């Protein structure tokens, strides 16, 4: 049995590698393979897999990438992920990527889809729309059409049809992936000292680069290893981190929150790997199954409309209850309209439910962790004070 440290070492290596060698190797191993990059927050990875492609999560350059060219494309008041993503591409780090998908997260990612078309005409760049109307015969019909168009694009890349059987098989594999991801999250919520947030994050990041089959094995191994090892339990407070669904926080930020005395028991870092709240049906019409799952069984977040005012923000309250958390940390990227506009609404709901929170902003390359550590430390202390009888 592999030790969790060995597994996490491998994940760290994948995380640090801004040339995506694991994905390059995957592509080179069999002629005809192709890679489809996607940005946060969600694309139906099953379809890419069913076509024989590798879905590659492109999540910016983190704090290790020096951004030179990317800054020439963006004003100072725009968040960092589009500029570091362009940097990755302009410097050839994404030269093995055959297509890029830009989900409808915000205006920045939306416009980046058009920039990609102009700057990298050989790459198939596509804005991937999702419905904001959740009726099957309205939003569902539209979404099925979007999925069908994506399926056609993937068939072109694959040079063969993407069959229903192949999609069903991929759905089953991704169901397994989601089950394992949820199991890791559940383990962390139960015993956060056994599965520290930085480890869980690295493990999930590896799933953005590795083929799903390999990631499933990795998750399985980690679950087994993490359960077997005994690690010291600290007297930390338990928090949910929210607002970080797109531009990713630096790994040090995640570590700093825990070092400051907060166990992260839930987060929204990489929602794509648990977007659907339970299994997507692997029988019947697979496109209809994916559409139905999006409409009726997916998580809430700022880029998705909440039709029912009464339900606005309750997902966060439910996350707090489900994970036994004691507070919420709003960690939002600077200049992130969706996250920052959503924040006051969510805070109102939390206040109504007497759930304490704090908020700060970050950039993927934030270096100074001291203020965040202090803020999180004070929060952890105050939670303990409040919870004392």
Partner 1 sequence: MSGSRTAEIVKEASMLKQKTMIAANYDLLAGAQATGRRVVSTFVPGNLNELIMCFDMVNNLPEINAIQNGMRKKSGPLIQEAEKRGHSEDVCAYVKADLGMIARGNIGPDGRALPPPDLLLLSYTGCFTFMKWFELLRQHYKCETAMLHVPYEGEGHATKAMIAYVVKQLREEVIPKLERASGTKFDIDRLRENLRESARAEEDFVWVLESAKHRPSPIDAYFGGVYYIGPIFTAFRGTADATDYYRLLRSEIAQRIEAGAGPITPDGKAHPERYRLVVEGPPSWPSFHEFWKMFYDEGAVVVASTYTKVGGLYDLGFRHDPDRPLESLAEYCLGCYTNRNLPSRIDLIEQYMADYQADGLLINSIKSCNSFSAGQLLMLREIERRTGKPAAFIETDLVDPRYFSPANVRNRLESYLQMIEQKRGAIAAAAA
Residues that bind partner 1 (CB under 8 A): 72-75, 77-78, 82, 102, 104-108, 110-115, 117-119, 126-129, 131-133, 135, 137-139, 141-142, 145-146, 302-303, 305-307, 309, 312, 332, 334-338, 340-345, 347-348, 361
Q: Which residue has the tokens 């058009």?
A: 114
| H helix intervals, 137-210 | 141-158, 164-190, 197-206
State the Cα–Cα distance between residues 53 and 76, nearest whole angstrom.
36
State the Cα–Cα distance between residues 47 and 287, nearest whole angstrom.
9
310 or 388, CB closer to partner 1? 310
**What DSSP state is assigned to residue 372?**
H
Measured from the CB of residue 379, what is the shortest distance to ligand SF4 in angstroms?
A: 23
Contacted by 129, from partner 1, ligand SF4, none: CB < 5 to 8 Å by type: partner 1
Contacted by 246, from partner 1, ligand SF4, none: CB < 5 to 8 Å by type: ligand SF4
112 or 350, CB closer to ligand SF4? 112
Contacted by 81, from ligand SF4, partner 1, none: CB < 5 to 8 Å by type: ligand SF4
The single residue among 81, 157, 203, 376 that binds ligand SF4, judged by CB under 6 A, is 81
Range in contact with ligand SF4 (rule: CB under 6 A) among 128-136, 221-229, 293-301, 333-341: 333-341
Which residues, 88 to 107, sit near ligand SF4 by CB under 6 A? 105-106
Give the list of residues 6+ apart from residue 132 with CB closer than 8 angstroms, or none: 139, 304, 305
Greatest pairwise CA separation for the chain in angstroms: 66
The single residue among 109, 154, 171, 363 that binds ligand SF4, judged by CB under 6 A, is 109
Measured from the CB of residue 119, what is the shortest distance to partner 1 in angstroms?
A: 7
Measured from the CB of residue 358, what is the shortest distance to ligand SF4 in angstroms?
A: 20
In the chain, beta strands by DSSP E:
34-38, 53-57, 99-103, 124-128, 237-242, 262-266, 327-333, 357-362
Contact status: 43 vs ligand SF4 (CB under 6 A): no
51 or 106, CB closer to partner 1? 106
Buried/exposed 349-388: b ≥16 CB within 10 Å, e otherwise? bbeeeebbbbbbbbbbbbeebeebbebbbebbeebeeeee
Contacted by 247, from partner 1, ligand SF4, none: CB < 5 to 8 Å by type: ligand SF4
| Rounded (10°) angle between helices 164-190 and 286-296 | 30
Measured from the CB of residue 232, what is the shortest distance to partner 1 in angstroms?
A: 38
From 265, 267, 240, 260, select the one nearest 376 (Cα to Cα): 260
Residues interacting with ligand SF4, by CB under 6 A?
Answer: 79, 81-82, 105-106, 108-109, 246-247, 333, 336-339
């Amino acid at each position: 049995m592999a030790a969790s440290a060995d597994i996490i070492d491998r994940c760290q290596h994948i995380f640090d590698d801004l040339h995506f060698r694991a994905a390059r190797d995957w592509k080179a191993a069999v002629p005809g393979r192709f890679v489809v990059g996607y940005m946060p927050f969600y694309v139906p990875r099953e379809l890419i897999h069913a076509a024989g492609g590798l879905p590659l999560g492109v999540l910016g350059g983190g704090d290790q990438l020096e951004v030179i060219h990317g800054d020439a494309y963006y004003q100072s008041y725009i968040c960092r992920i589009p500029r570091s993503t362009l940097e990755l591409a302009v410097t050839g780090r994404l030269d093995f990527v055959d297509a890029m998908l830009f989900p409808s997260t915000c205006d920045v990612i939306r416009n980046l889809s058009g920039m990609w078309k102009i700057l990298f005409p050989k790459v198939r760049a596509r804005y991937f729309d999702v419905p904001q109307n959740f009726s099957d015969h309205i939003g569902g019909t539209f979404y099925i059409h979007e999925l069908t168009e994506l399926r056609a694009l993937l068939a072109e890349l694959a040079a063969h049809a993407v069959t229903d059987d192949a999609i069903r098989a991929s759905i089953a594999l991704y169901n397994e992936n989601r089950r394992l991801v949820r199991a890791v999250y559940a383990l962390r919520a139960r015993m956060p000292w056994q599965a520290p947030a930085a480890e869980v994050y690295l493990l999930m990041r590896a799933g953005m680069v590795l083929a799903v089959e390999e990631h499933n094995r990795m998750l399985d191994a980690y679950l087994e290893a993490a359960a077997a090892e005994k690690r010291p339990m600290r007297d930390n407070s338990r928090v949910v981190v929210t607002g970080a669904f797109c531009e990713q926080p630096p790994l040090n930020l995640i570590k700093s929150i825990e070092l400051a005395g907060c166990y992260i028991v839930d987060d929204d870092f990489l929602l794509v790997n648990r977007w659907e709240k339970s299994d997507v049906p692997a029988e019947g019409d697979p496109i209809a199954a994916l559409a139905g799952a999006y409409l009726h069984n997916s998580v809430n977040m700022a880029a998705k409309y909440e039709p029912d005012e009464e339900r606005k923000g309750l997902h966060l309250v439910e996350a707090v209850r489900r994970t036994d958390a004691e507070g919420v940390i709003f960690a939002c990227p600077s200049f992130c309209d969706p996250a920052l506009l959503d924040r006051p609404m969510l805070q109102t709901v939390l206040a109504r439910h007497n759930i304490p929170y704090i908020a700060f902003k970050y950039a993927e390359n934030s270096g100074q962790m001291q203020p965040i550590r202090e803020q999180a430390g004070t929060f952890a202390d105050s939670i303990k004070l409040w919870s004392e009888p």
